A and B are shown apart, each in its own frame.
Chain A
Amino acid sequence: MSTKESQKNPTNRRKFLQLGLISGVSAVTGVSILSSFAADEEKELTPSGEKTRLLTPDGKIVEVEVSKINKYPEAHITPAEAREGIPNRKFVMVIDLAKCKNARSCVEKCQKAHQLDYHEEFIKIQLIQNNEEASPYWFPKPCFHCDEPPCVTVCPTGATFKRDDNIVLVDNTRCIGCKFCITSCPYSARQFNWGPKDKFKNLDQPYSPETGIPAVEGTVMKCDFCPDMLRQGELPHCAKACPMGVIYFGDKNEDIVTNGEETLRFSELINERGGYRHLEHLGTKPNVYYLPAVNRQFPLERGFDVDEEIIERYRDVPYVKKLKKLGKI
């Protein structure tokens, strides 16, 4: 519904977008992107008739419909515009491993939003065992949006880039498909479109690196932290979809992260709960933090309540081998 609207009237919406961002930053209206993270999810986009006054960057006061503030619909962000980050933001994600039970809602919602196929997953749930003695845990793995991204360094055309708001994106109109970024990413976060697919021809929505839709054959794609959602003041799809509130998302500048239910201080969360980054020693400086899988809320086995095919993925994990031997799965 809103997509159609945005196509009809893009310029109008662009204006609102800029306005909204400025209002968020200068806090003239007191509404910021983040404060609405935890807000109600699906607000109707009907003009309420109610208007408010906003200060524009050049000092003018304009009247705007209340329903459109911070709820600026998906204005189309062109590849060139996508290279600029959302101003004054440093996005971070915190994943609480103690709460994950492999419900796979994040994966499914992400796939739906990014029009991915069954096996194409921007966020993967891996089963990790830290050492032989430790019990395994579910490990959701999105792109880590590193501060020192090896993928960006090696890209010969600048198709993949790091933005000021911490997000690493791929512009598939620029990508030549050399796959060097895939080989240099130590987290296997990137995927390649190996062949033509019908969905690539779906041009209902103009392409934006911020949505990654439609994907293009022979180019690379990956988790994008859903900047289109962020611009609307919403959480990324994975964080929104998680029934356990595993995924916290927020802004390092404001020192706030939220999973939609609770909003916490990022620094306190990391300090008090022993937050860490995966494979820290590689020096890539990820922006995805993990809280260790201690005091688990669910037994690991709850995660095996999924498709046969998904369980098959974990067959090489020693723990799963043992379970299979005992006939428990």
Chain B
Amino acid sequence: MDLNTRKRELVNEFSPMLRTSGPLLKIWISLLLVIILMGLTAFVLQFMKGHKITGMRDNVVWGIYIINFIFFVGLSYSGAFISGVLHFFKTPWKNSISRIVEIMTVLSLVVGPIFILLCIGRLDRLHYLFIYPRIQSPITWDIIAIMTDLIGCFIYLYLTFIPDLAILRDYSDEETPNWRKKLYKFLAIGYQDTPNQHKRLHKIISIMSTMIIAMAIVAYTVLAWIFSLTPQPGWNSTIFAPYFIIAGLYSGVAVIIISMYLIRKYFSLEKYIRKIHFVGAGIVLLVISLLFGYFTFTEYFSRWFSHNTGNDHLLETLFTKYFWEFILANYIGVLIPIFILFIKKLRTIKMITFAAVIAVLGLWLNRYLIVIPTLETPFLPIQDTRPEFIHYTATWIEWSLSFAGIAAFFLFFTLIIKFIPIIPMSGIIDGDKMQAKNIKKGKNIKLK
């Protein structure tokens, strides 16, 4: 088939996805906007009235904001890791999910750091971080790592967009609004898909994919260090960095599965996102859930077995006040996905997605249990009469801002999908080419 006709065909296939805005989409977007608006109100209130309207107090100085921060940065890290790794696989099926992963990587890295800003008492002095930087502080490392990661991921995402932007520029029909055409033209920066350009672009993408793996690992390690470099029992752990890395992958793969499910369902992309993708991702999730369970077990087991005073106190709190949360996070949240994914019969699309939902919720709760109970059990016992200073409960301000963050993630995701096909067209073409080449060689390997 002629390349031009194939491109036009693909544009025609995906254009409706970009253009139509059915009632369901409108409801979805307005719902997200309402949630974001609520969050903005909460933010204004917090800014005006101070942090006392949150549940945070002198002992638990960081609440669910920092948990969301770890969670989103974890998503981003794992997204970068997975898309970097996917890039090295020469299988065509990776094409269907690679863009989902890349978008998740960038968006969660945009949303995540907003949560750390919400923890800061004097947002008006944020620039002091650059005027009076202290390189000894892990926070400074974190800022450097996350900013580098963010820039790297943005560049990577953009690079992977270029061939599709060029196709959209060249093959969009008359119905496409003018501003879109102009934007496509501008963003495609003169990419003509000549063999030379094609080769060069792929080379750059290869280099970038290796780099973002490294940057993401550094960023997430430094984030884990924010906790593990303090002397607090429950945080001061040598395995925290690798533990966070595995935990990030766990949530990342799970969120990818959920996004795959939603996108496939809404856009009827059964042709592209097939069961093989779910099963493949499900098996990856199985491996990671085993690893995650292993790390969680090691972490708590060594604390329990060595039973020094600080750890004892922490575990006692975990097994009394946080008993159900602990069971949900570290038993249900790990064992249910393992169970579902382990049994071949249960590996249906719905069940795999269900396992992924459990994994995400369990992981969020696991992060909660790492942050909050530790802060509630300092070395010197909390002797206070004010209940909010002893036990942390998030207020509606914190919850609505958390949901606003999640909503913002979904909103940006939806908007990007409306701008560029979620299945990379250039990838489909490359896949076709590869197949043709293989047939020519007489290999006739079943690739799809």
Contacts and interface: CB of A to CB of B under 8 A. Distances in A.
Contacts of A176: 120-122, 125-126, 128-129
Give the residue among B61, B125, B226 with the most A Cβ atoms within 10 A: B61
Contact of B61 (A156, A174, A183): A183
A313 B129 contact: no
Interface stretch (B145-153, B268-276, B280-288, B377-385): B377-385
A312 to B, nearest CB: 5
B43 to A, nearest CB: 14
B448 interface: no
A279 B380 CA distance: 10
B50 A194 contact: yes
Contact of B137 (A180, A195, A220): A180
B134 A196 contact: no
B369 to A, nearest CB: 16
A156 B134 contact: yes
A182 B58 contact: yes
A156 B133 contact: yes
Nearest to B50: A195
B231 A150 contact: yes
25 contacts: A150-B230, A154-B137, A154-B138, A154-B229, A154-B230, A156-B133, A157-B128, A157-B134, A158-B132, A176-B122, A177-B121, A178-B121, A180-B226, A183-B230, A184-B231, A187-B379, A188-B58, A190-B58, A194-B50, A194-B51, A194-B56, A195-B51, A282-B231, A282-B379, A316-B383
Given A156-B139, A309-B385, A218 B129 contact: no
Given A176-B129, A179-B121, A196-B50, A312 B385 contact: yes
B120 A191 contact: no
B122 A126 contact: no
A190 B56 CA distance: 14
A182 B60 CA distance: 9
Interface in B358-377: 375
B52 to A, nearest CB: 3
Given A154-B139, A191-B58, A196-B50, A183 B134 contact: no
B211 interface: no
B87 interface: no
Nearest to A172: B122
Contact of A219 (B52, B61, B122, B378): B122
Interface residues of B, number: 44
B140 interface: yes
B57 interface: yes
B131 to A, nearest CB: 8
Nearest to B121: A177
Nearest to A126: B383
Contact of B232 (A141, A155, A183, A192): A183
Nearest to B139: A156
A69 interface: no
A6 interface: no
A319 interface: no
Nearest to B140: A156
A314 interface: yes
A311 B121 CA distance: 32
A60 interface: no
Contacts of B138: 154, 180
A194 B126 contact: no
A218 B230 contact: no
B59 interface: yes
A174 to B, nearest CB: 6
A157 B402 CA distance: 27
Contact of B121 (A155, A183, A218): A218
B50 A313 contact: no
Contacts of A277: none
Contacts of A284: 231
B52 A195 contact: yes
A89 interface: no
A15 to B, nearest CB: 30
Contacts of B137: 153-156, 180
Contacts of B51: 192, 194-195, 218
Contacts of B121: 175-179, 192-193, 217-220
B120 A178 contact: yes
Contact of A313 (B125, B136, B231, B385): B385
Contacts of B231: 150, 184, 186, 282, 284
By CB atoms of chain B within 10 A, which of A188, A196, A312, A314 has the most?
Answer: A188
A17 interface: no
Closest 3 CB pairs of A and B: A177-B121, A218-B121, A195-B50
B443 interface: no
Contacts of B378: 186, 188
A194 B139 contact: no
A153 B382 contact: no
B357 interface: no
A183 B62 contact: yes
Contacts of B61: 179, 182-183, 192
Contacts of A175: 121-122, 125
